[in-house]
């Protein structure tokens, strides 16, 4: 019997216990937005330091003077100081981000401050006349330059501005939106010349529009100066603004909505009327407001086409009719304090009129794109109720709730498409 000498078996060493897992590091929360104490201290330190340096330069070293230059130099020194202080504690990317944020915030605050300053100045100068009720209920037909502030008002100018602006909006909005639809939806060889003409009319001086209506409507056709002629001049000023803004808004409507309408068998005009224009409604309202804001404050076209009168005239198609801009222009240059106060009160009234028109337009056309009207919602609910009643009559078993829900879900999109088609 042969035996083999084998090496002794090696006994495996006992396994070492696994190393303890490294403890995870605590997560550091990244703060997005907001202000920290370092941000506030850096901003305040830059403002105070730049103000002190600016004062030293203007008052002690350099021969400079003037409030405007002082403020501009202060702002420039503030930006430089903010960048330098921020570079000591932040990385370059964060410094550039904070610097751009400061420039954006300061620009917005500057615009708000300018608007508040203008409103406050007009309110301060015109409150003396606007606080009396007669300013909104009387005209200037029985008021002399030296009459007390409790006599006369701007009722004739307020009514004239509203009538002229209403007529101009009635003329300019359909023409402007139609031109925008032609350029964005129809196109063709004439689209480029029309767009070029609209762009040229956008930069048209207002007095040229007044001269055009004066030469064509009043002199050539023999119409008298009236509120209607003034509204035609305002139409010339408003129409290119409405057209340009409406074209931009219509081009923003997704093309998939048009394709869906064409796939359902809709024609081009029905697609534009029932899909494109309702979707772009908020933007179109903004375009109309921009046009009205351009026309309500024009003075030179109204001066050449409507004439001036101190009497009340509620008929824009006969005789002279004054508006608020023309009222302001005529009375603010007179050397009588009460007349100047009436002019500033009229300017304050004009601001209020613009604000009311803007808020009204936003409320009327403020629905979201694709949002149904109350009439369309009622029509959908009635159709869904009819489908629900029919489903209840066919099936009164346990499957009735599911059938009703399915019928309502199936009826709502179809009825919505029908509502858009019949709108």
Integer Cα distance of 121 and 296 in angstroms: 20
Dihedral-angle region of residue 319 (phi above 0 means left; psi in -120 to 50 means alpha; beta otherwise): left
Helices 92-130 + 337-364 axis angle, to 10 = 120
CB-based contacts of 61, cutoff 8 Å, min separation 6: none
- The token duo for 323 is 């508006």
pLDDT computed for residue 415 by the predictor: 40
- Which residue do the tokens 């609910």 mark? 381
pLDDT below 50 — which residues of the chain?
1-2, 4, 398-400, 403-404, 407-408, 410-423
Half-sphere exposure of 246 (CA within 13 A, CB side): 31
- The token duo for 361 is 């337009």
Answer yes or no: are the C-beta atoms of 200 and 243 closer than 8 Å. Answer: no
Integer Cα distance of 235 and 227 in angstroms: 12
- The token duo for 397 is 């078993």
Backbone torsions φ then ψ of 53, nearest 5 degrees: -65, -40
Answer yes or no: are the C-beta atoms of 338 and 165 closer than 8 Å. Answer: no
- Which residue do the tokens 């602006």 mark? 165
Integer Cα distance of 276 and 387 in angstroms: 30
pLDDT computed for residue 413 by the predictor: 44
Cα Rg for the chain, rounded, in angstroms?
Answer: 35
Q: DSSP string spanning 194-234? A: HHHHHHHHHT--HHHHHHHHIIIIIIIS-PPS-HHHHHHHH
Helices 191-202 + 227-251 axis angle, to 10 = 120
| DSSP helix/strand/coil, 237 | helix
Half-sphere exposure of 313 (CA within 13 A, CB side): 22
Average pLDDT over all residues of the chain: 83
CA angle 145, 148, 151 (to 5 degrees): 90
pLDDT computed for residue 298 by the predictor: 87
pLDDT computed for residue 17 by the predictor: 54
CB-based contacts of 217, cutoff 8 Å, min separation 6: 223, 229, 232, 305
CB-based contacts of 346, cutoff 8 Å, min separation 6: 126, 154, 157, 324, 327, 328, 331
- The token duo for 223 is 């119409």
Integer Cα distance of 240 and 208 in angstroms: 14
| CA distance readout (Å), 220 to 148, 208, 215, 224, 304 | 43, 16, 6, 11, 15
Answer yes or no: are the C-beta atoms of 226 and 321 closer than 8 Å. Answer: yes
CB-based contacts of 308, cutoff 8 Å, min separation 6: 320, 322, 326, 330
């Amino acid at each position: 019997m042969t035996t083999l000498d084998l090496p002794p078996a090696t006994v495996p060493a006992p396994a070492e216990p696994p190393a303890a897992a490294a403890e995870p590091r605590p997560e550091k929360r990244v703060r997005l937005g907001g202000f920290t104490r370092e941000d506030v201290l850096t901003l305040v330190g830059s403002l105070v330091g730049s103000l002190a340096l600016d004062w030293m330069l203007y008052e002690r070293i350099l021969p400079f003077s003037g409030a405007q230059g002082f403020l501009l130099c202060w702002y420039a020194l503030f930006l430089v100081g903010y960048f330098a202080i921020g570079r000591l504690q932040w990385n370059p990317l964060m410094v550039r981000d904070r610097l751009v944020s400061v420039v954006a915030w300061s620009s917005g605050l500057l615009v708000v401050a300018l608007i508040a300053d203008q409103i406050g100045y007009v309110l301060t100068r015109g409150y003396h006349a606007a606080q009396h009720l007669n300013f909104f209920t009387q005209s200037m037909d029985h008021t002399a330059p030296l009459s007390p502030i409790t006599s006369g008002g701007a009722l004739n100018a307020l009514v004239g501005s509203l009538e002229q602006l209403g007529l101009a909006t009635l003329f300019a909005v359909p023409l402007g939106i139609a031109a925008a639809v032609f350029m964005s939806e129809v196109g063709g060889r004439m689209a480029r010349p029309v767009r070029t003409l609209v762009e040229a009319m956008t930069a048209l001086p207002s007095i040229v529009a007044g001269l055009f209506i004066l030469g064509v409507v009043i002199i050539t056709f023999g119409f008298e100066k009236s509120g209607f002629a003034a509204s035609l001049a305002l139409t010339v000023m408003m129409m290119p603004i409405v057209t340009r803004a409406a074209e931009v808004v219509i081009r923003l409507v997704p093309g998939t909505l048009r394709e869906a309408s064409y796939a359902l068998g809709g024609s081009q005009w029905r697609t534009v009327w029932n899909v494109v224009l309702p979707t772009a409604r908020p933007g179109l309202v903004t375009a109309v407001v921009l046009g009205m804001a351009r026309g309500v404050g024009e003075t030179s076209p109204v001066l050449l086409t409507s004439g001036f009168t101190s009497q009340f005239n509620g008929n824009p198609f006969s005789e002279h009719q004054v508006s608020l801009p023309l009222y302001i222009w005529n009375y603010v240059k007179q050397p009588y304090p009460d007349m100047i106060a009436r002019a500033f009160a009229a300017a304050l009234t004009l601001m209020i009129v613009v604000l009311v028109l803007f808020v009204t337009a936003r409320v009327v056309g403020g629905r979201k794109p694709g949002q149904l009207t109350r009439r369309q919602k009622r029509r959908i609910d009635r159709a869904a109720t009819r489908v629900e009643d029919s489903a209840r009559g066919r099936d009164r078993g346990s499957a009735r709730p599911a059938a009703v829900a399915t019928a309502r879900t199936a009826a709502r999109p179809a009825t919505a498409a029908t509502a858009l088609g019949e709108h």
